[in-house]
Amino acid sequence: MLGDSVLQFSTIIGAYLFAMGVGSYLSRFFDRQLPAHFLRIELLVALIGGALPALLFIANAWAPGAFRLLLYGLVLVVGTLVGLEIPLVMRILKRNVALRDLVSQVLTFDYLGALAVSVAFPLVLVPQLGLIRTGLLFGLMNAAVALWALWLFRHELRQWRAHAAACVGVLALLGAGFAGADHITTLAEDRFYQDRIVASERSPWQRIVVTQGRNGHRLFLNGNLQFAQRDEYRYHEALVHPAMAAHGAPKKVAVLGGGDGLAVREVLKYPSVQSVTLVELDPAMTRLFAQQPALAQLNANALASPKVSIVNTDAFKWLEHDKGSYDVIVVDFPDPTNFAIGKLYTNSFYALLDQRLSAGGYAVVQTTSPLVARKSFWTVVTTIESVGLRAAPYHAHVPSFGEWGFVLASRRPWRMPDALPAGLRFLDLPALAPMFDFPRDMARVPADVNRLSNQALVTTYEREWGKVHE
């Protein structure tokens, strides 16, 4: 929610480890009734840690200004509690185990458990259960440990019934949350997205949400708007037609990203097109926009065309291994909000793109707002030019996004086309030339090349768009 970046990972992990250190220090003040303290700590970890994702989703929808404070506050609380656990466990077990064996066994199981969970979390649990249920599942695991401790130390606990009632209560709360996780998600998302949610799906890569309101459908990926039905035609016509029409008679076309099929819809308006290869990482996207009637209608059933081949893979890897040559390549990725997407805006990526272009081919890249994120926009232009391609930047106004930018890349200069397909709602030949003129507040500024080794674009993008949201 804050941006899947190195900054967020680093600060969250750093805060968590710091809090564990604080918890370890505080453990020295626990002298008596260690099993009781351990049981209470497990229940608190279960309740607070298990509910953490659900609380953050609700806060993001109902009190976005408090999100960051709540996130770091809860991380510090959970980290402190977890920091108390291992010292207490070791002090409890030292009564029956030699110190050398005790340290070895406790730390071995701790590290092996960390490995198992760190692999299972992104690959199995979140894709299958979603973030809210995964958090609650781990909470239930901690509550089960508390229940086991309740039985194991039943003869030492002074208030056994109270502890038993607390275990049952926490298990009941977490179980109810696990059963009603979909309602929690819907409650948060209905508030966040405002319009009625008509389709939602959690894939291993992203959260896909489609809403429908008075102005039609809107697509959100991880909470970020990707298109609005009322004006998406302006974006997609501007993205596709300057490259396609300038080529004249493109036969082989590749679309990278754009799993909603809207760019493919525009490509298929050219009778010369013989094949379109759509490379989309997330099969959930292409499945949703191919099979759900209302969404397939938006792209004019483009994904069902016999000319279209869908390849669900990473575009970077596809460019490395594909040996084809394409007349036009449409690059329609989300903005570079994190390093995973940022690699698709690097000079390494554009060098691969160059290899896949035919001699007279054109590539076009959607390139954020040259007004809001001026340096980010010109960073992409500079990066494209750094691999020896000619860059022809242009912009168009899309009401849902404001002034939006694109860059044409080719080995030959871009030329004004002689004609455009019939039936376009936004573009015509007189409107094309002004799109390539930039007023003073969007004019070119010095920018660095975005490389895999530095990902300068992601940092610049976060800084520029962050000012808009402050």
- Across the beta sheet with 207-213, the strand order is 196-202, 207-213, 216-221, 224-228
Q: Is the pLDDT of residue 78 over 90?
A: yes
- Residue 377: per-residue pLDDT: 97
- Quote the pTM value: 0.76
Domain count for the chain: 3
- Residue 111: per-residue pLDDT: 84
Q: Is the pLDDT of residue 364 over 80?
A: yes
Average pLDDT (172-186) is 86
Average pLDDT (35-62) is 90
Q: Is residue 262 part of a domain?
A: yes
Q: Are 346 and 452 in contact (CB under 8 A)?
A: yes
DSSP assignment letter at 10 = H
Report the C-alpha gap between 457 and 102 in whole angstroms. Answer: 49
Same domain, 213 and 283: no
The pLDDT tens digits for 194-221 are 778 888 777 777 778 888 888 888 888 8
Q: Following DSSP, what letter does each residue of 403-454 receive, concatenated? A: EEEEEEEESS-----S---TT-SS--HHHHHHHT---GGGS--------TTT
Q: Count CA within 13 A, CB hemisphere, residue 340.
A: 8
Same domain, 128 and 203: no
* Angle of CA points 419, 380, 342, to nearest 5°: 120
The pLDDT tens digits for 417-455 are 989 999 999 999 999 999 999 999 999 999 999 998 888
Q: Is residue 162 part of a domain?
A: yes
Q: How confident is the model at residue 260 (pLDDT cuts 50, 70, 90)?
A: very high
Q: Where is 221: in which H helix or E strand?
A: strand 216-221
Same domain, 158 and 290: no
Same domain, 157 and 70: yes
Report the C-alpha gap between 281 and 259 in whole angstroms. Answer: 8
Same domain, 463 and 420: yes
Catalytically active residues, by annotation: 332
Tokens of 341: 């997407």
Same domain, 51 and 167: yes
Find, among 101, 100, 88, 11, the residue nearest to 42 by Cα: 88
Same domain, 145 and 204: no
- Residue 182: per-residue pLDDT: 79
Q: Is residue 1 part of a domain?
A: no
- Residue 91: per-residue pLDDT: 86
Same domain, 126 and 214: no
Q: Is the pLDDT of residue 50 over 60?
A: yes
Check which CATH number belongs to the domain holding 213 and give it.
Answer: 2.30.140.10
Q: Is residue 382 part of a domain?
A: yes
Most confident of 48-62, 135-149, 209-223: 135-149
Q: How confident is the model at residue 99 (pLDDT cuts 50, 70, 90)?
A: low
Same domain, 51 and 125: yes
Same domain, 183 and 204: no
Q: Are 239 and 269 in contact (CB under 8 A)?
A: no
Host domain of residue 381: 231-469
Q: Are 398 and 234 in contact (CB under 8 A)?
A: yes
Q: Is residue 160 part of a domain?
A: yes
- Residue 443: per-residue pLDDT: 96
Local structure of 7: helix, strand or coil? helix
Q: Following DSSP, what letter does each residue of 234-284 receive, concatenated? A: HHHHHHHHHHHHHHSS--EEEEEE-TTSHHHHHHTT-TT--EEEEE-S-HH
